Amino acid sequence: MLQDLSQYILDIAENSLKAQASSVEIEVEEDTRENVLRLRVTDNGVGMDSEQLSMVENPFFTTRTERRVGLGIPFLKQAAETCDGSFEIRSEKGRGTVIEASFRRDCIDCPPLGDIPATVMALMVGWPERSFLFRFRFNDDIFETGTEELLQVLEDRELFASAEVALWISRYIEQGIYNLRTGGNEGFEEDHQP
Amino acid sequence: MKKITSLEDLRRIKEQSKDLTSARSGGKTRIIVGMGTCGIAAGAREVMTVILQELDRRGLKDVAVETTGCIGMCQKEPLVDIIRPGEPRITYGDVGPADVPRIIVEHIVNGNIVEDKVVGQTD
């Protein structure tokens, strides 16, 4: 079982990349009025047919050959359902896959969000040639960033491999989420921990 | 001190680091972190973050950090491979954030393999 939702997001996005997605969209939505937390990972990878799709929630189904169990998706589904939430995978062969999970925010078993900035950073460093879009929605407000926006400044995908750039990305996202939650950009401390 | 992170900072980092573009080309040391489900569950992402922090702190720019999927040694995750140019690929296992500074200083900077964490070697 993974520790928090940011680790599930990383795990699902890694699946997308192994499915040859050139672009992966990650959305996290916190709605304090509806008391819901939603995750959505959308990719344009190879997708799955209905037979594969029906097996993917089974922990003893995996396409990998290195080991014979695939636990990421079954655990996320279980975590969502434990928290009065829902879990859904939609996929189309040749088009891509969408995975959505929702949780009741104040459920005692709801996994913490965890270090979302580190997840996005790890993806951008590990897969510099792919494109990521990250969107965090807090009630009506949105923070969004992604490979394409950062490339307008960096101009060179190889710079994602630079430690200084990677750590900047993590701080930038951390601040973006912090600003959404606090309703402004005042008071963000460099050493703030979410 | 309050500091707002902005795209301007990113532009500054880019301007100051023209030589960074060599980070992924040949002749550089590679660090490869296992980022399969097993690695993630064992703390690979935290290890990767500490690696990046350590490289940044020491100003080691000619090192490329990469990720890979599950290689079937799940029980030894987090796994970190280091390949210095012209040298065998060394696989370290059960790597925690606290091991990272030692591995970077000993192996990447000084060229000495940290024997007690090695779980594999490939030529």
Give the start-to-end residue ranges of the domains of chain A.
Answer: 5-182
What's the token pair of residue A35? 């008391």
A positions 56-115 inside 8 Å of B (CB): 64, 66-67, 70-72, 115
- Give the Cα separation of A42 and A25 in Å (integer): 5
Residues of chain B with Cβ-Cβ distance to A125 below 8 Å are 48, 52, 65-67
DSSP state of A181: H
The confidence score (pLDDT) of residue A63 equals: 67
Domains of chain B and any CATH numbers: 20-122 (3.40.30.10)
Average pLDDT estimate for B96-123: 96
pLDDT score of B35: 96
Chain A to chain B Cβ contacts (< 8 Å): 135
According to the 3-state scheme, what is the secondary structure of chain B? CECCCCHHHHHHHHHHCHHHHHHHCCCCEEEEEECCHHHHHHCHHHHHHHHHHHHHHHCCCCEEEEEECCCCCHHHCCCEEEECCCCCEEEECCCCHHHHHHHHHHHHHCCCCCHHHEEEEEC
C-alpha distance from B10 to closest chain A C-alpha (Å): 7
Look over chain B and give the mean of its residue pLDDT values, rounded to a whole number: 90
How far apart are the CA of B58 and the nearest CA of chain A, in angstroms? Answer: 11
Amino acid letter at B93? G
Residue of chain A whose Cα is closest to the Cα of B45:
A122
A23, A29, A77, A80, B87 from A119: Cα distances, Å = 16, 16, 20, 20, 31
Contacts of B21 in chain A (CB under 8 A): 156, 158-159
C-alpha Rg value of chain A to the nearest Å: 17
**Mutate which: B24, B32, B38, B40, vs A, most A CBs within 10 A:** B40
Among B3, B4, B5, most A C-beta atoms within 10 A, so best to mutate, is B5
Q: Which residues of chain A have pLDDT under 50?
A: 193-194
- Do A85 and A8 meet the contact criterion of CB atoms below 8 Å apart? no
pLDDT of residue A53: 85
Residue B64 confidence (pLDDT) above 50: yes
B67 and A167: CB-CB below 8 Å? Answer: no
C-alpha distance from A113 to closest chain B C-alpha (Å):
15
Instruction: Report the pLDDT value the prediction gives residue B2, as an integer from 0 to 100.
Output: 46
Rounded Cα distance, B61 and A1, in Å:
35
Which class is domain A5-182?
Answer: alpha beta
Residue contact A158–B2, C-beta within 8 A:
no
Residue B108 pLDDT greater than 80, yes or no: yes
Confidence of residue B5 (pLDDT cuts 50, 70, 90): confident
Q: How far is B116 from chain A (nearest CA, A)?
A: 25
B76-89 tens-digit pLDDT: 999 999 999 999 99
